Chain A
Amino acid sequence: MVMARGGGMRGRGMGRGVGRGIYKPKIFLPRHPFDLTLAEAAFPRVKPTPDETVFTQALLKRNADLSPTPAEQTAILNLVTKIQTVLDNLVVAPGNFDACQLEEVRQVGSFKKGTMVTGHNVADIVVILKTLPTKEAVEALGNKVKEDLKNLMKSEVINKGESLNHTINERGIEIANSYATVRVMVTTVHHNIRKLDPEIHLDPMIMMSHLAAIRHSRWFEENAHHSSIKVLIRLLRDLRTRFDGFEPLTPWMLDLLAHFAIMNNPSRQALPINQAFRRVFQLLAAGLFLPGSAGITDPCEGGSIRIHTAMTLEQQDVCCLTAQTLLRVLSHGGYKHILGLEGNSSIAKEMSIWDGVVVSPLDKAYEKPPEKKEGEEVEDEDMEAEPDESMETAET
C-alpha cells in the first residue's frame, strides 16, 4: 500500500511531505499532548470521585436509542445478502459477463463493523476489479447486478417499498429500497491504480479510498471489536451530526479516536464508557487534533500519517474549540445537552449557565495567513495541513 500511495499521490497532499523531506530540511517531531489518563501516576486522585452512575446510564440509554431497530437490521441484512450473493456469483462464474473481471467482494463500513446508527441504513460493499474501472465497465456491472437481482427475486413477492432503485455514481452503484441502501463501491487492484486516467476511468483518489476502506474494516475487526468501542463510536457519530464543529471528523477518525480513548491507557484494559466518553473531550480539548500534536497515527497507512492532518487548519481549530467548550459543559453536569437528551446544540456556540457557573464559548485562534508571504515557510514547520483526501473514505 505504501507503494501505491507514493505512486498515486505524488503532487498532491502527500507529495508535500516528500518535498519537504528534500527541500526543507526541518525536522518536526510532533508531541503527544497531555493525557490525564496516561499521567494518572502524577495526578493521584485526591478528591472523591464524583458519582457518575446517572451519567453512565444516560450514555447507555443514548446508545440504545441510536442503535438500529431489529426491523432496520433485517431489512438491510436482506438486501446485503442478496447483493453479496449476486456479486459472489460474478466472481466465481462470470459467465458471459466480460465488461470487467471481479477480483474480490468485501463488506466494509459501519454495517460490517456493527457501528451503524439508526436512521442511516446504508451498508457498503467494495468490489475489487481485476480490470481497469472504466466508466463503461461500472455501468455494465450495474446493469448486470440489476438483472441478476431481478432474477434472484423473481419468486419473491415484492411488497410496496421493496422495489429496488438502482443508481450509478462516481463511486460505483447504489441499490436502494425504501428501508435500506447498499452501496457497491468499485475499485481496482493496487497495481492498476497508477494506470488510471481520470478521463476514462473513475477517480483514482476514490479508488484509493475504497481500498483503504477494506484495510480499515480489517483493522477494526482485529483491534476494535470491544463492544465499549462500538458504543462510543455510535455516540461520537451522533455528536458529529449534531455539532457543526465535529463535522470534519471522518468515520475513520472517529473509529480510531474511540479506540484510542478506550484502549490507550496504562492498564490496557477497556475504560468504562463514562470515562472514555469524557476522555474523548479531554483529548480533543488538550489539542490531540491540533497542529503540532502527534495525534493518532493511521495504523493502516505507511509513513506514520497523523489522521487529523486530513482536516484543514481551520477545521482542526473549530473541532478543538467545540470539544473544549463541551468539556467544560460536561464537567458542570451538562451531559444531557451534549448527548442530545435535552436542549439543543447551541451550547457549543452560546453562553450557558450551569449551576451558577457561566460557561462561555471560545473564539477561533486560527487566522488566515496573510498573503502567504512570510508565513509560508514557517507555517510548514508544524502546521502542514493540506487535507489529505486519501484519508476520507466513503464508508459510513
Chain B
Amino acid sequence: MATNNYFGFTHGGTQYRNFCFSAAAAAATGAAYQAGQAGYAVAAPASAAAAATYGTQRPTGYETAYQAATTPATYAAVGTGTTPAYEYGYGRAAAATTGYDATKSYYQQAATGQSATGYTTAYDQAAAGAKQANYATQYTQRNPAQQQTQATVSAKPAQYSGTYQANATGYQASYAQPAAAQTTIAAQPTTQAKRYDAALYSAATMYVAQQSNQQKAGGWQGYKKGGGGPKNMRAKAPPKPQQLHYCEVCKISCAGPQTYREHLEGQKHKKREAATKMTASPAVTNQNRAGNSLRCQLCDVTCTGNDAYAAHIRGSKHSKVVMLHTKLGKPIPPQEPEVIGGPRKSVSATPKINFVQSGGLGVAPGNGEIKDEEIDDTPEPDIQPVGQDYIEEIKSEDGKVISFNCKLCECRFNDPNAKEMHMKGRRHRLQYKKKVNPDLVVDLKPSLRQRKMQEEKMRRAALREEYWQRRHMAAEDEEERMYWEERRRYEEDYMEWCRRGNMGPFPRGRPPFPGNAPPPFYQGPQITRRIESNDDRHVMSHHSDIYPKEEELQNIQRIVSHTERALKIVSDQMAETVKPKEEVVSPANSSPANTTVVVPAPQATATSLQEDKVDEPIEQKEDGRDNQLFSFQREDRDVNRTLKGVMRVGHLAKGLLLQGDTNVELVVLCSDKPTLTLLRKVVEMLPAALKQVTTEHIYNVTINAAEAGFTVTEEALTVLVQLTSPVMREQEAASGGLDRDVLARGKCLQALAALRHTKWFQARALGLHSCVVIIRILRDLCQRVPTWAPLSPWAMELLVEKVISSTPGGVQLSPGDALRRVMEAVAGGLLLPGGPGLGDPCEKDSPDAAAALTSQQREDLTCSAQYALRLIAYRQIYKVLGMDQLPIQQKVFRRDSRSARKRRRSGGEQPDSESDTGKMVKTEGDSAPAPEPVVPLK
C-alpha cells in the first residue's frame, strides 16, 4: 500500500487545505485542481462529497488506510459494501466538473466526459428513487463486513450518504498486503468511518496509478463505486418482482413469481448466495487463484485466462445477462475484463509508479501527470499453444474431423476450441515440458498448501492488526524493545536460514510491526531454490558483519523515539498557545456514534479548512518507529498546529543502518513555511520536552540553521531534525528571497526529497529479494572504497533496485548473484558517459540521479566494477567485500547438497522446475521453524 499512498504523499499538506465545503466551492476547487493535477481529479470531489455528508472532512493521508478514528461510524454501514459488479467509466473531464450539490443531496455528473457516457452513472440512479432498491442490494451482496455493519438507514433517502464507496477489491489487488485492509474491516467496526475515507483515498490513488496507464480520455476502470440509495445493508432479499423477476445474486430472470421463488429455494441459488457471503472479498479468493484471472464484472464470473474469458463473453450465458441488464436498464460494465492479480501484483511486481514531484499544485498545469509505460491491466502475455504435433485428429468415415486426441495427456475433445484451450492449458504444457521440451516455461500454480499458508498469513495479519489497535498506548518502551528484538531475531534467522543452504522462501513472517506494517520483507511466490553458492555465503557473512549490533540499533532507536515524542510535546504546546480555544472540540463531534450527519457542520467546515492531507493514525502512535509518518494531529483535528508530524528518513527509515552509523535523520513537516523563528522556538522548547520524555538520558539540542534544522545529540549519536513544508515547493517560495526569516529553500526541498525517497524505498526496494542486503553491502563498499564514494546513496539505491528488478523472468536472485549482477551492470558501462542514466522516479521529468558524477569518476567506477566482476567470477568475492576468505565447507556443503539433491530427485524434475515446487515448499515448510503465533504482549 505504500506504493500508492506514496503518490498522495508527494503532495503533502497542501493537498486538501483549500477545500471549503460549501457546495460551490468544492466544485470549483475540484476543478481548479484538475487543471494542474489530473491525478486528483477524483480525490477532490470525492472527499468533498464525503465531507459534506459526514460533517467532518477526512481526507486520508499517506498514513495507512486503516487507522483508527472515532468519527461517525454509522453512515459507514452504507458505505462498506464492495461492489463487485459495478464500474463506471469516469472520464477525466467528467471528474473535473463534477460538483457536489449539498442542497440537492445527490451527485451530479455535470458534464459527462467522453468516456462517462457509456455507463450511466451511479448517482443518477441513486437519485432516481425507483431503482434505488435494486441498486442497493446489488452492491451489498458481496459486502465483506456485513456481519458487523450497523444497519443504519439514513434518514433522508435522497441523501447521498456514504454510498460513495470505493471498491476494496481493486484496492487490494494492487497492494502487496491486501489482507491488512480487509481484516481491519472485519476487526474494527468502529473505525468504519475512517476506513471509508481510507478506501476512498486509496481508490483515488489507485485511480492516479491507473490513469497514468491509460490514454487521456480513457475510461477508468479500476475505480468502482457503489452508488445507491440508503438501503439497509442487511436487506439481502431480492427486490420485489416488478414485471421481470430478476435474481441479483445469480443474475438471471425468471418467468414468473413461481419460478422465481423456486429459484430462490433452489440449490444453485443458495450455493451462490452462500459463496458470496462466505467470501470475505473477491480479492481474497482470487488471490489464491493462479496469476491471470480475468473477471467478467457483469456476470461476476472469474475466468482463468484470456481464452476462457473470451469464451465466456461469446457464450450464451453472458449475452443473456447483457440482454437482461439492457432490458432492466441496469448499467452494464465495460466488457474489458477486470484483471485479478495473482503473483503479478505481489511485491515482486509492485505496480510501477513514478514518484513525481508535484511542483506547485494547481499552478503549472499538467505537472502532476504521471508518465508510466507499464500498463497495469494489460492482459497476460498470450500463451502460445504448444505441442500441436501431438494432437491427433480423429476423422469420421467421410473425412470430417470429429474429435481430437492429445497423445501427451491422453485425453480427447470434440471441439476445436477446446483443443486450443487444452494446448494452452497448464496440464498440457506440463506434460509437454515433461515429455517433449524441458525448457518450456510453465506457470506456477500455487499448491494447496501455499494457498493455505497465504490464508493463514492473512488471518494472522488480521489478528495482529486488531491487537495493535486495541492496545496502543500501553507499555511503550517494552513494546518497542520487543519489536526490535523480534526484528533482529528475524533477520538473524533469515541469515541462518540462508546459511543452511536454503535460498528459498523464508517461512516465517517478519515480526509484527507495531502500527502499520510496511510490506514484509520476503514475500511473493518463490520459484527458485538453489543451493547456496560460495558467493552467497560470503555475501551473507559480510552482511552480518556490517549489520549493526542490536545494542546500537536500540540506542539509535531510543534517541530517535525520544526525539519524536519530545517533538510531539513541543507541537502540542505550540498548538495550545496558538489557538487554545479551537483545541477544545466538543466530544460529541469526535464521537457522534449514532448521528448520521448529513449536513456539514459549520465547525467541521472550519476545521477542514486548513486540513493537512496528513491523516492521523487510527492508533495513536507514540513515535514513528514503523517508518511511516508520525503525525502530531489529534482526533480533534486541531487546526493551526504548526508542526504537523515527523517522519524518519534516510538510512534509518530504510533500514540501511550499518555498524558504526551514528547519524540519523528526521524530517518535521510544518503547516507553513518553516522560519528561523519557528526553528529557534522549537530548539528552545525541545530540551524541556526531552526532559519530560526521559530523565535518564541527557540530550543536547543544537540549532543548525544551515541545514534548516537542529541536531539532538547524546554521546556519539546525532539526530538531525530538519524542518520543511510542502508549501516550500510552490513557485512563490522559489522566488521568495522576500522573507529572510524562511529557512533555506534548498535544504527544505532536500528534506522533502528525502521523504519521497523513503517512501519510494519502502514501496520498491523493501520487497525485492536480496535488494536491501545488496544495498547495505554497496553502502559499505561506498564507505570503504574511495572510488565508489562519489556514487550518492540515492543513486546507488536506485541503481541496485533497477538492476535487480530488471532480472529477466522476475527470477529471484540469491545475494551472491544479485551482487554479481549489479557489478555486471556497472561493468557493462551503465554509468559510463553515453549511458542511459538513472531516471529518478521521485522528481519531475525523471532527471538523472547520478548526473553529478564526472567522466573520470564514471570511468573509475566502471573500472573498479569490472575488476570486481572478474574477481567474483574467479571466486575471489572476498576481495570485493574486503573480508577474509571463508573456509570452504566442503564436507558439510556436499552432504547438504546431496541430501537436497535426493529430495529434489524424488520430485523427478529439475531443481527449479515448476511442477514440484509445491512439494518442495512443503518439505521446506515442515523443516522450518514454525511461524510464531502473535501473542499479545500483556
Binding site for B on A (CB under 8 A): 25-27, 29, 31-36, 38-47, 50, 278, 281-283, 285-287, 290-293, 313, 317, 320-321, 324, 327-328, 331-332, 355-360, 362-367, 374-375, 377-379, 381-383
Q: Which residue of A lies closest to B859 (CB)?
A: A357
Task: Check if A45 sits within 8 Å of B897, measured CB to CB.
Answer: no
Knowing A38-B808, A46-B846, the reply to whether A287 touches B833 (Cβ < 8 A) is no
The one of B836, B873, B876, B897 in contact with A287, judged by C-beta atoms closer than 8 angstroms, is B873
Q: Which residue of B lies closest to A291 (CB)?
A: B873
- List 8 A-B pairs, minimum CB-CB distance, nearest first: A286-B828, A365-B870, A42-B806, A39-B806, A34-B824, A331-B832, A324-B866, A290-B873
Knowing A282-B829, A324-B827, the reply to whether A31 touches B870 (Cβ < 8 A) is no
Instruction: Say if the beta carbon of B884 comes within 8 Å of chain A.
Output: no
Q: Which residue of A lies closest to B870 (CB)?
A: A365
Considering the chains assembled together, what is the distance between the CA atoms of A9 and B234 in angstroms? 77
Instruction: Say if the beta carbon of B720 comes within 8 Å of chain A.
Output: no
- B253-261, B529-537, B612-620 - the one binding chain A: B529-537
- Can you list 12 pairs linking A and B with CB atoms under 8 Å apart? A29-B530, A39-B806, A42-B803, A45-B837, A46-B847, A285-B828, A327-B862, A355-B855, A359-B863, A365-B870, A377-B890, A383-B873
Task: Check if B846 sits within 8 Å of A25, measured CB to CB.
Answer: no
Task: Check if A285 sits within 8 Å of B874, measured CB to CB.
Answer: no
Chain A contacts of B840 at CB under 8 A? 46
Instruction: Say if the beta carbon of B488 comes within 8 Å of chain A.
Output: no
Instruction: Say if the beta carbon of B456 comes within 8 Å of chain A.
Output: no
Chain B contacts of A365 at CB under 8 A? 867, 870-871, 873-874, 876
Task: Check if A357 sits within 8 Å of B870, measured CB to CB.
Answer: no
Q: Which residue of A lies closest to B904 (CB)?
A: A27
Task: Check if B875 sits within 8 Å of A320, measured CB to CB.
Answer: no
Beyond A285-B827, A317-B873, A377-B890, 6 extra complex contacts between A and B, CB < 8 Å: A32-B808, A47-B848, A321-B870, A328-B832, A359-B859, A374-B890
Chain A contacts of B808 at CB under 8 A? 32, 38-39
Considering the chains assembled together, what is the distance between the CA atoms of A374 and B828 in angstroms? 32
Task: Check if A332 sits within 8 Å of B817, measured CB to CB.
Answer: no
The one of B803, B832, B846, B901 in contact with A44, judged by C-beta atoms closer than 8 angstroms, is B846
Considering the chains assembled together, what is the distance between the CA atoms of A357 and B834 in angstroms? 14
Q: Which residues 686-719 of B sit at the A interface, judged by CB distance below 8 A?
A: none
Chain B contact patch, size range: 35 or more
Task: Check if A328 sits within 8 Å of B856, measured CB to CB.
Answer: no
Instruction: Say if the beta carbon of B251 comes within 8 Å of chain A.
Output: no
Task: Check if A327 sits within 8 Å of B802, measured CB to CB.
Answer: no
Task: Check if B863 sits within 8 Å of A46, measured CB to CB.
Answer: no
Considering the chains assembled together, what is the distance between the CA atoms of A365 and B863 in angstroms? 13
* Chain B: minimal CB distance from A49 (Å): 8
Considering the chains assembled together, what is the distance between the CA atoms of A292 and B832 in angstroms? 25
Considering the chains assembled together, what is the distance between the CA atoms of A364 and B866 in angstroms? 11
Task: Check if A27 sits within 8 Å of B827, measured CB to CB.
Answer: no
Q: Which residue of A lies closest to B528 (CB)?
A: A29
* Chain B: minimal CB distance from A285 (Å): 5
Task: Check if B821 sits within 8 Å of A366, measured CB to CB.
Answer: no
Chain B contacts of A324 at CB under 8 A? 827, 862-863, 866
Task: Check if A36 sits within 8 Å of B859, measured CB to CB.
Answer: no
Q: Which residue of B lies closest to A366 (CB)?
A: B874
* Chain B: minimal CB distance from A197 (Å): 37
Considering the chains assembled together, what is the distance between the CA atoms of A336 and B856 in angstroms? 20
Knowing A25-B901, A383-B874, the reply to whether A33 touches B828 (Cβ < 8 A) is yes
Instruction: Say if the beta carbon of B838 comes within 8 Å of chain A.
Output: yes
The one of B534, B822, B824, B901 in contact with A381, judged by C-beta atoms closer than 8 angstroms, is B534
Chain B contacts of A39 at CB under 8 A? 802-803, 806, 808, 825
Q: Which residue of B lies closest to A361 (CB)?
A: B863
Instruction: Say if the beta carbon of B303 comes within 8 Å of chain A.
Output: no
Knowing A44-B846, A50-B834, A285-B828, the reply to whether A358 touches B859 (Cβ < 8 A) is yes
Chain B contacts of A283 at CB under 8 A? 828
Residue from the set B817, B827, B855 with the largest chain A CB neighbour count within 10 Å:
B827
Knowing A36-B830, A46-B847, A378-B888, the reply to whether A291 touches B874 (Cβ < 8 A) is yes
Chain B contacts of A364 at CB under 8 A? 870
Residue from the set A35, A286, A375 with the largest chain B CB neighbour count within 10 Å:
A286
Instruction: Say if the beta carbon of B518 comes within 8 Å of chain A.
Output: no
Task: Check if A46 sits within 8 Å of B848, measured CB to CB.
Answer: yes
Considering the chains assembled together, what is the distance between the CA atoms of A46 and B817 in angstroms? 27
* Chain A: minimal CB distance from B825 (Å): 4
Chain A contacts of B871 at CB under 8 A? 365
Task: Check if B829 sits within 8 Å of A327, measured CB to CB.
Answer: yes
Residue from the set B813, B869, B898 with the largest chain A CB neighbour count within 10 Å:
B869
The total of interchain contacts (Cβ-Cβ below 8 angstroms) comes to: 179
Task: Check if B828 sits within 8 Å of A34, measured CB to CB.
Answer: yes
Task: Check if A36 sits within 8 Å of B856, measured CB to CB.
Answer: no
Task: Check if B803 sits within 8 Å of A34, measured CB to CB.
Answer: yes
Chain B contacts of A292 at CB under 8 A? 820, 873
Chain B contacts of A359 at CB under 8 A? 859, 863
Chain B contacts of A46 at CB under 8 A? 836-840, 846-848
Q: Which residues 792-830 of B sit at the A interface, judged by CB distance below 8 A?
A: 802-803, 805-806, 808, 813, 817, 820-822, 824-825, 827-830
Chain B contacts of A285 at CB under 8 A? 827-829, 866
Q: Which residue of A lies closest to B832 (CB)?
A: A331
Chain A contacts of B837 at CB under 8 A? 43, 45-47
Considering the chains assembled together, what is the distance between the CA atoms of A39 and B810 in angstroms? 12
Q: Which residues 868-892 of B sit at the A interface, judged by CB distance below 8 A?
A: 869-871, 873-876, 888, 890
Task: Check if B825 sits within 8 Å of A286, measured CB to CB.
Answer: yes
Chain B contacts of A25 at CB under 8 A? 897-898, 901
Chain B contacts of A44 at CB under 8 A? 373, 836, 839, 846
* Chain A: minimal CB distance from B864 (Å): 10
* Chain A: minimal CB distance from B938 (Å): 46
Q: Which residues 773-805 of B sit at the A interface, judged by CB distance below 8 A?
A: 802-803, 805
Considering the chains assembled together, what is the distance between the CA atoms of A39 and B806 in angstroms? 6
Considering the chains assembled together, what is the distance between the CA atoms of A43 and B795 in angstroms? 13
Considering the chains assembled together, what is the distance between the CA atoms of A173 and B272 in angstroms? 82
Contact with A along B882-920 (1 / 0, CB 8 A): 000000101000100110010010000011100000000
Knowing A46-B837, A287-B873, A365-B874, the reply to whether A378 touches B863 (Cβ < 8 A) is no
Task: Check if B829 sits within 8 Å of A360, measured CB to CB.
Answer: no
Considering the chains assembled together, what is the distance between the CA atoms of A186 and B740 in angstroms? 90
Task: Check if B832 sits within 8 Å of A33, measured CB to CB.
Answer: no
Chain A contacts of B862 at CB under 8 A? 324, 327-328
Chain B contacts of A356 at CB under 8 A? 855-856
The one of B533, B839, B869 in contact with A290, judged by C-beta atoms closer than 8 angstroms, is B869
Considering the chains assembled together, what is the distance between the CA atoms of A381 and B530 in angstroms? 13
Residue from the set A281, A324, A363, A381 with the largest chain B CB neighbour count within 10 Å:
A324
Considering the chains assembled together, what is the distance between the CA atoms of A212 and B806 in angstroms? 36
* Chain A: minimal CB distance from B790 (Å): 14
Q: Which residue of A lies closest to B868 (CB)?
A: A365
Considering the chains assembled together, what is the distance between the CA atoms of A40 and B373 in angstroms? 12
* Chain B: minimal CB distance from A315 (Å): 13
Chain A contacts of B855 at CB under 8 A? 332, 355-357
Chain A contacts of B897 at CB under 8 A? 25-26
The one of A35, A40, A47, A290 in contact with B870, judged by C-beta atoms closer than 8 angstroms, is A290
Q: Which residue of B lies closest to A40 (CB)?
A: B836
Chain B contacts of A41 at CB under 8 A? 373, 806
Considering the chains assembled together, what is the distance between the CA atoms of A381 and B856 in angstroms? 37
Considering the chains assembled together, what is the distance between the CA atoms of A290 and B873 in angstroms? 7
Contact with A along B527-553 (1 / 0, CB 8 A): 000110110000000000000000000
Chain A contacts of B533 at CB under 8 A? 381-382
Task: Check if B817 sits within 8 Å of A36, measured CB to CB.
Answer: no
Q: Which residue of B lies closest to A379 (CB)?
A: B875
Chain B contacts of A40 at CB under 8 A? 836
Q: Which residue of A lies closest to B822 (CB)?
A: A34
* Chain A: minimal CB distance from B568 (Å): 40
Task: Check if B802 sits within 8 Å of A43, measured CB to CB.
Answer: yes
The one of A45, A355, A375 in contact with B836, judged by C-beta atoms closer than 8 angstroms, is A45
Considering the chains assembled together, what is the distance between the CA atoms of A313 and B876 in angstroms? 14
Task: Check if B825 sits within 8 Å of A36, measured CB to CB.
Answer: yes
